[in-house]
Amino acid sequence: MMEVVNNVSLLSIILAGAFLIRERERGTIEHLLVMPVTPTEIMIGKMWPTALVVFVAALLAIVVVIRIWLAIPVAGSLWLLMLGLALQLFATTSLGILLATLAGSMPQFGLLLMLVLFPLQVLAGGTTPVESMPDFVRIPMMAAPDTHFVALARAVLFRGAGLEVIWPQILALVAIGLAFFVLSRWRFRRFLR
């Protein structure tokens, strides 16, 4: 179950960033710039399909593989989990776009991914409890969307928590997603110049 949660971040960051890098490497980003679209619309056009594909894949994995095939019961509301998943995808695709604007090529993007994905996967609480980490690790990881999504997913999937319990994680995902979106939008405008 936690592997599905961990792979959501991995796929959304890699795919969103790779789409943008490939457009730049092939020179097709200039074609988009002469169209009557804003840089924000171009950025959202890269984020939305990635989020949709990962959302559908995660939904199918939870419903078909985990609930039906493996017959593992899900304690909480699947719709509440999907709300958290949508907010997580907003934050992680924004992060993928941000990383793509920092990288000049696909190999540089791959190196950046190693620096970002490993801490997100290991320190977000999916494999080790956040509470057992020292403060110098735990406090910076509170700015990572994965930390809040793992807490949300565990609460909903394993304990059947409702909105009254997970609202802090939802607010954190909204705030982190908006911060990454605004920062990636600012970098994307500079990236296009």
Task: Return d(Cα 182, Cα 125) in angstroms, integer.
Answer: 26
Residue 193, pLDDT score: 66
**What are the helix (H) ranges across the chain?**
2-26, 29-33, 39-60, 78-102, 106-123, 135-141, 145-159, 163-192
pLDDT 10s digits, 72-91: 877 788 889 999 999 999 99
Unique residue bearing structure tokens 């910076």? 140
Unique residue bearing structure tokens 């949300």? 152
Q: Is the pLDDT of residue 34 over 90?
A: no
pLDDT 10s digits, 4-30: 878 888 899 999 999 888 888 887 877
Joined together, the tokens standing for residue 169 give: 């994680």
Q: Is the pLDDT of residue 191 over 80?
A: no
Q: Name the residue with higher pLDDT: 96 or 133.
A: 96
Length, in residues, of the chain = 193
Residue 50, pLDDT score: 92
Domain boundaries, the chain: 2-192
Q: Is the pLDDT of residue 56 over 90?
A: yes
Question: What is the SS3 assignment for 127?
Answer: coil
Residue 174, pLDDT score: 96
| Cα end-to-end span (Å), the chain | 43
Most confident of 54-58, 69-73, 131-135: 54-58
Task: Return d(Cα 178, Cα 162) in angstroms, integer.
Answer: 24
Task: Return d(Cα 165, Cα 119) in angstroms, integer.
Answer: 26
